[in-house]
Amino acid sequence: MSEPSQDQRLAQPTTHIDRDGTVHVHGLRLPPSGLWSAEYRAFHTSCAAAKPATEFPAPARNAPKSEWDRFDSWWEQRTNVVLLKKVRSRYPVEVSEKTIAGVRVAVIEPKQGPAKRNERRVLVNLRGGGFVYNRGLSFGQIESIPVAAIGGFRIVTLDYRQAPFHSFPAASEDVAAVYSELLREHSPETIGIFGSSAGANPVNHAKFSSTLLALKWPLCAVPVFPAI
C-alpha cells in the first residue's frame, strides 16, 4: 500500500492516538516510549479499549461560574475520586488540609512519618490540570501520595488559582506566597518544588517571582512534561 499524499494527510484529522499508544500529529508518527513498563502498557491498552463516557465537556471560557462549578463537580466524581481511592488504598499516608499564606493546601506524610533523612525537608507539589481542570486538592494528592510514601517525604500540594477566573500570574503568585511562608520554618536547601503538565509552568514562573521578592531559590525545582 502506498503512502498517503501530503494533501491526503492534511485532509485527515490532525491528531489521533492508536490503541497501542502511537501518536499521529500532522502526518508524523510517534511510537510509544520504549520505557513503558508491561503494567503501564496493559493499563494504556485497557483505557484505549474503553469507550469514554463523554469527551471532556468543559464549559466555554466565558461561561458563568455556576456552570464551571457543575463541571468541576462532575470531573471530580468521574475521575479524581476514583483514582484517589485507589492511590490511598495502595500507599499508607496521612493527609491534612490547611491554609498557608491564604492558599488552600494539603499536607501529605508517610503513615510512619517522613524518613529520618527527610525530617527537615519539604516538597511542594503543583498538580497538573491543563490550566482549567482538577481544581481542588484531589489530583495534587494523587500525584503526591506515591512520592511521599515511597520516598519518605512530607509534601505540600497547592490548590493554586486557575483559568478561566484567574489569569497569569495568579498561580505563580500563590506558589511564591506559600514558598515565602515555608521559608519561616525551612531553609531553601531543604525545600524542593515539582509540578506536572500545567503545574510545571508555575515552577518556572515562581522562580522569577522569588527573584523579584528577593527570596533564595529552593534546593531543586523540577518541571515534569510542562504544558504550553
pLDDT of the residue at 213: 62
State which residues of the chain have pLDDT below 50: 1, 6-13, 54
Q: Which residue has the cell 534546593?
A: 219
Amino acid found at 30: L
d(CA 158, CA 122): 13
pLDDT of the residue at 8: 47
- By the 10 Å C-beta count (0-12 exposed, 13-18 middle, 19+ buried), 89 is classed as exposed
Domain ranges of the chain: 9-49, 65-224
In tens, the pLDDT along 132-181 reads: 889 999 999 999 999 999 999 999 999 999 999 998 889 888 998 999 89
CATH tag, 65-224 = 3.40.50.1820
d(CA 21, CA 212): 42
pLDDT of the residue at 11: 45
Q: Read off the C-alpha cell for 120.
A: 527537615
Pairing status of strand 15-17 against strand 23-25: antiparallel
Put simply, whether the predicted model's pTM sits higher than 0.75 gets the answer yes
State how far Cα 24 lies from the chain centre.
Answer: 24
pLDDT of the residue at 9: 43
Among 155, 141, 47, CA closest to 87: 141
